[in-house]
Amino acid sequence: MKTFFKNIGNNIRESLAQLGTDVKIAMKEMSWRNIRGLAKDPVETRNYATVYMLFSGLLFLSTVYAAFNEFSGRERRPWKKWTNEYKATGLKIADSLRNAVEIKNGEAFRKRLAELESAKARAKDSLRKYPAYVKLSDDYFKLATQLREFSKELADIKAYDSQDYYVYTEALKKNDFGTANKIKAKLDNYKVQIEGKTKQVEETRKKRDEKKAELDKYEKIINELDAKIESLKGKLVAIETAKKAYNEKKVKVHQVIMRNYSTNNFGEYNMDVDRCQSCHAAWNDSLFSEKYYKGQFKEVTYEEFAEMHWKFHTEVSSDEYKAKKPEEQKKILEEVAKHNKGKVKVSGNKLAIRKDPLQYHSPEIMKVHNIEKIGCTSCHAGQGRALKASHAHSRHGEPDYDHHWERPLVQGKFVESGCQSCHSTAINLPMGETVSLGKKLVFDLGCNGCHALPNQEKYPVRKVGPSLAYVMKKDNPEFVYNWLLNPKDFYPHTKMPNFYLEEIDARNITAFLSSLTDKDTTYKPLKYPGKGDVANGKSLTLQIGCTGCHSVDKVDWAAISKTPALREGAGFGPNLNKVGTKVNEDWLFDWLINPKHYYSETKMPSLRLTEQEASDITAYLMTLKKSDKQKFKPVDMAALKDANNIANGEKMVKMLGCYGCHNIREDINKLTNVSVSLTEEADKTSHEFDFGNTVRGDHYNVGHTWEGWIKGKIRDPRQYSTNRIPLMMPNFGLNETEVEAIAVAIKGWTNRKVSPQYQPHYDDLTANYDAGQYFVRDNNCIGCHQIEDYKGAYIHQQITEPANRPPLLTHQGIKTQEDWLLKFFNNPKLDGHGIRPWIKVRMPSFQHSDEEWGYALRYFLAIKKKHVNYENYKNVQTTPEKVAMGKALFEKFQCVSCHYINGPSMEEQTKAGKLAPNLGMAYERLKPQYIYEWIGWPASLMPGVNMPNYFGEGYTMTAVPDSNLAKLGMDQKAMARYQGEAIRDYLFYMNNADMAKANDKNSQPKKQPNKRNR
């Protein structure tokens, strides 16, 4: 052994000596002089074996290292660890679940299984001993055998028959009448036989089926027991299947390839690849939901935590934290844990943050989005290709993040910003609450007045403010001046933002607006007659529907809504609580009589007030004045007439862009937006923002990120202002929810377009639906009506009697005939009678054109996934008998107890207390199918309605079984449906003589009675 090493040592020494010489010679030869002389002294004579040996050794070692590095996966494949972790944890959870079934409940489980099985055996046993059952099963088998035999005989006869029929036809072809006649007799015989046999087969089959049904009744018990046993065993099988799946899961890069998914910076579609699932392996595994898997956490101190600003938002800096007392520190930790629920826990006096990527994604949204197609980055952003967490997330400031990646992972609510890539025109996404709120706010606050917004052309956008062309005929200079100084002082939640005007600028603008009014000759308000009754005015204001849009008296929008800047429900119109200070009575009276007189584009509809009603309301509203505590600054009336001031005022109006929200003067209205376009705002990086004098470490502007800047801008637009670059944007006074919602919406405004093949099918229906949703908000239909899941209809809370509330409109598309609805929109009072004249709240007259109403009509149909069609609904096919049956039922059911049919005037109907719509107009108002469904189950279409069920819940029973219908083979349900149709036909028939005539002529006596008429 010793010698062996010695030999090796010697060998190595010799080799090294040889190598030294060789290298020396090689160096010598490699020198320029010797290379020139190479031809004389060929290199082949030299031995380079040792050099080759050395390098091949190095190559071998590096290959081994590369292979090791590849398969160990520490450096190059960090995701492997998590796939393995996922498999191991999954198995562990499955095992614990199985234990829960088998071991924890072991005794009970086995006992139950054994008992079920013995019960099954007993049941089988006793059935076999039970004579009635034995006889029954014998009969059944006999009949079954018989049936088989009969069927075989029948088939045989048929075969003979067709064989002879062939011979018969052949004979006829050959004019061989002798044979033909002979066979004809045979054929006739077969015919009789076939008929007889068929009948026999049918009868036997019927009998057999009867027996089978009876047998089933007995065997039901055994089958049920079987099912129970199976379900008990099934749990274990399911767990075993899951375990198998974990074992078989491959350790590989799981990726989604999206060809031509979205555009790059040059506007071309390129391929995106998402490999997020390689680490986030548990995203669709419900075993990893919070219930079974709590996650892995690591402890960090608060100082470390506060440093992780790319991931967590902290209100308190680590220095501030250190200065606090231990109890307060504890509170801060708890607050942080509450804010980052699921990601951060309190652990002693430290924090524990989740370190594993095996989170389970909430399943709701996955039901409607195919992740195998659109990947993860389409919502969450980040670098999908990267296989290292820091590169994949690329959040600004994260250790080892990719500086060059422009779309870092989005946090929290900002995930919703991605919704807009595909749902570009939707403003009420059920699973995108924040982004929807943001989009609504953007339109409500009139951001489009100064900025260009994406997809603006797809909505009927209007200027959000009132006309100022002759504003002093409405307000007074003192009010306007004080309003301009800070509108939020007067109404804290007004839409008008605070421009932080200097007193002199406010005065100049007031002067300019006064001069406009002075020059105007077009608008002359009516004169307020001055006989208003304040008390009656108040009750009218609170009852006829003003409160559907306006806050007045006890109706306070800001108290109802967490986001008072949102213009829905009672916050849609201005607060009226100080309106007496704001306007003068002539203008108010004129405005109430016809709002369009003052400003033709106003959203305020007419409530068809009589002169007396308008006077009463005017009288009431004029009593609502500001409190004396609230002081107005005096305005120098003489200065308002100064031409210089007026000119300066005009300059200010143009500079601030007042015309973005208000109609001012023809030439000013035409000016372009005063501020930047926001259509591609999300593509800006934080380097492109000017943070002004705000310092790093300011908790609002977290780490100087995109989100931080935008939120800061919305929250306090002038905070980035410097002496060199003063900013103009006014302050909207929004709360944090609103600020975040708007920022989330803007985060989705990018020039990166998603290819249509990845988008949901955008067709007419979607367009109708989205535009309609905008329309019903823009006119605040949802202030009074419940439509779909809009959180609206706040007026409902003010009306105690459900029957007196504005109706639900979700089903309007299937409820009313389109031409009737249009007639109703244009004339809600229906020439004096209305539908429910006894209710106090009024459907206003909006004075829209038919085109505008089209948005609403198409929307109602789109809710029900229907296109506009031109069906004649009055063409209901029926028979006089059916109508007569409907009439009889109508009387029997005492429908007239609540409904009138035609009958007396509406006033009398109201007096009689029959508080249900007059059915005389049903045939021109309602769609036939709706009447049918309504009669079947009214509360399913309008929850809380007083109309009771006559046929159970959806035609499940009838109270008046009809023997004639029973003879036609109808069961209870079919009978109920037929009776429902009969009542509908009666309602359609009674006022519509033409229809009755037409249908009588075309009536089809053979029609199947239980088929639905269309």
Residue (120 or 567) nearer to another protein, CB: 120
> Does residue 885 bind another protein (CB under 8 A)?
no
> Does residue 245 bind another protein (CB under 8 A)?
yes
Q: Rounded CA gap, 949 and 937, in Å?
A: 6
What does the DSSP assignment read for 481-503?
Answer: HHHHH-HHHH-TT-SSPB----H
Residue (90 or 573) nearer to another protein, CB: 90
What are 836's two structure tokens? 């429910």
Binding mask 922-951 for another protein (x = CB under 8 A): ----------------xx---xxxxxxxx-
Pick the piece of the chain touching another protein (CB under 8 A) from 109-117, 265-273, 507-515, 723-731.
109-117
Residue pair 750/419 in contact (Cβ under 8 Å)? The answer is no
Amino acid code (one letter) for 99: N
Q: Rounded CA gap, 464 and 450, in Å?
A: 12
Pick the piece of the chain touching another protein (CB under 8 A) from 58-66, 227-235, 306-314, 658-666.
227-235
Residue (216 or 502) nearer to another protein, CB: 216
Binding mask 787-816 for another protein (x = CB under 8 A): -------------xx---------------
> Does residue 106 bind another protein (CB under 8 A)?
no
* Closest alpha carbon to 979 in 999, 1000, 957: 957
Binding mask 110-129 for another protein (x = CB under 8 A): -xx--xx--x--xx--xx-x
CB of 376 to another protein, least distance (A): 16
Residue pair 901/919 in contact (Cβ under 8 Å)? The answer is yes
Sheet holding 350-354, edge to edge: 297-300, 350-354, 344-347
Q: Which residues pair with 297 in a beta bridge?
A: 354
Q: Rounded CA gap, 498 and 484, in Å?
A: 8
Residue (754 or 889) nearer to another protein, CB: 889
Length of the chain counted residue by residue: 1014
> Does residue 669 bind another protein (CB under 8 A)?
no
- Helices 503-519 and 477-485 meet at what angle, rounded to 10? 140
Among 52, 55, 65, 130, binds another protein (CB under 8 A): 130
Which residues are CB-neighbours of 1010 under 8 A, at least 6 positions away? 968, 970, 974, 977, 978
Residue (212 or 350) nearer to another protein, CB: 212
CB of 243 to another protein, least distance (A): 10
Residue pair 974/995 in contact (Cβ under 8 Å)? The answer is no
CB of 393 to another protein, least distance (A): 25
Residue (287 or 782) nearer to another protein, CB: 287
Residue (700 or 893) nearer to another protein, CB: 893
CB of 118 to another protein, least distance (A): 9
Residue linked to tokens 């077009």: 522
Residue (133 or 165) nearer to another protein, CB: 133
> Does residue 461 bind another protein (CB under 8 A)?
no
Q: Which residues pair with 269 in a beta bridge?
A: 263
Residue (113 or 187) nearer to another protein, CB: 113
Binding mask 887-926 for another protein (x = CB under 8 A): -----xxx--xx-----------xxxx-------------
CB of 672 to another protein, least distance (A): 52
Residue (292 or 824) nearer to another protein, CB: 292
Among 232, 431, 461, 639, binds another protein (CB under 8 A): 232
Among 62, 145, 162, 284, binds another protein (CB under 8 A): 284
Residue pair 606/595 in contact (Cβ under 8 Å)? The answer is yes
Residue 213 — left, alpha, or beta (φ > 0 → left; ψ -120 to 50 → alpha)?
alpha
Residue (255 or 517) nearer to another protein, CB: 255
Phi, psi for 353 (deg, rounded to 5): -110, 150
Residues of span 62-101 touching another protein by CB under 8 A: 97, 100-101
CA 923 and chain centroid, separation: 36
CB of 288 to another protein, least distance (A): 10
CB of 959 to another protein, least distance (A): 5
* Closest alpha carbon to 548 in 252, 352, 842, 144: 842
What are 241's two structure tokens? 């299947």
Residue (129 or 687) nearer to another protein, CB: 129
Residues of span 819-848 touching another protein by CB under 8 A: 838
Among 30, 64, 227, 238, binds another protein (CB under 8 A): 238
Which residues are CB-neighbours of 991 under 8 A, at least 6 positions away? 902, 920, 921, 923, 924
> Does residue 220 bind another protein (CB under 8 A)?
yes
Residue pair 293/358 in contact (Cβ under 8 Å)? The answer is yes
CB of 538 to another protein, least distance (A): 17
Pick the piece of the chain touching another protein (CB under 8 A) from 5-13, 213-221, 466-474, 521-529.
213-221
CB of 102 to another protein, least distance (A): 11
Residue (172 or 916) nearer to another protein, CB: 916
Q: Which residues pair with 300 in a beta bridge?
A: 351
Size of the site for another protein (CB under 8 A): 61
Q: Rounded CA gap, 602 and 275, in Å?
A: 52
Binding mask 178-197 for another protein (x = CB under 8 A): --------------------
What does the DSSP assignment read for 674-716?
Answer: SS---TTGGG--GGGS--TTPPTT-SSSGGG-HHHHHHHHHH-
Among 286, 301, 722, 902, binds another protein (CB under 8 A): 286
Which residues are CB-neighbours of 545 under 8 A, at least 6 positions away? 607, 784, 795, 806, 841, 842, 844
Among 25, 959, 966, 968, binds another protein (CB under 8 A): 959
Residue (162 or 946) nearer to another protein, CB: 946
Residue (24 or 244) nearer to another protein, CB: 244
CA distances from 537 to 135, 435, 541, 546, 844 (A): 85, 40, 6, 11, 18
Angle value at C-alpha 588, between 582 and 589, nearest 5 degrees: 160
Residue (627 or 894) nearer to another protein, CB: 894
Which residues are CB-neighbours of 106 under 8 A, at least 6 positions away? none
Which residues are CB-neighbours of 787 under 8 A, at least 6 positions away? 776, 781, 808, 809, 810, 863
CA distances from 555 to 445, 581, 973 (A): 22, 19, 48
Residue (198 or 804) nearer to another protein, CB: 804
Residue linked to tokens 């307060």: 328
> Does residue 132 bind another protein (CB under 8 A)?
yes
Pick the piece of the chain touching another protein (CB under 8 A) from 77-85, 212-220, 454-462, 602-610.
212-220
Element (H, E) at 138: helix 131-173
CB of 784 to another protein, least distance (A): 19
Pick the piece of the chain touching another protein (CB under 8 A) from 233-241, 459-467, 533-541, 783-791.
233-241
Residue (627 or 897) nearer to another protein, CB: 897
Residues that bind another protein (CB under 8 A): 97, 100-101, 105, 111-112, 115-116, 119, 122-123, 126-127, 129-130, 132-133, 217-218, 220-221, 224-225, 231-232, 234-235, 238-239, 241-242, 245, 284-287, 800-801, 838, 892-894, 897-898, 910-913, 938-939, 943-950, 953, 959-960
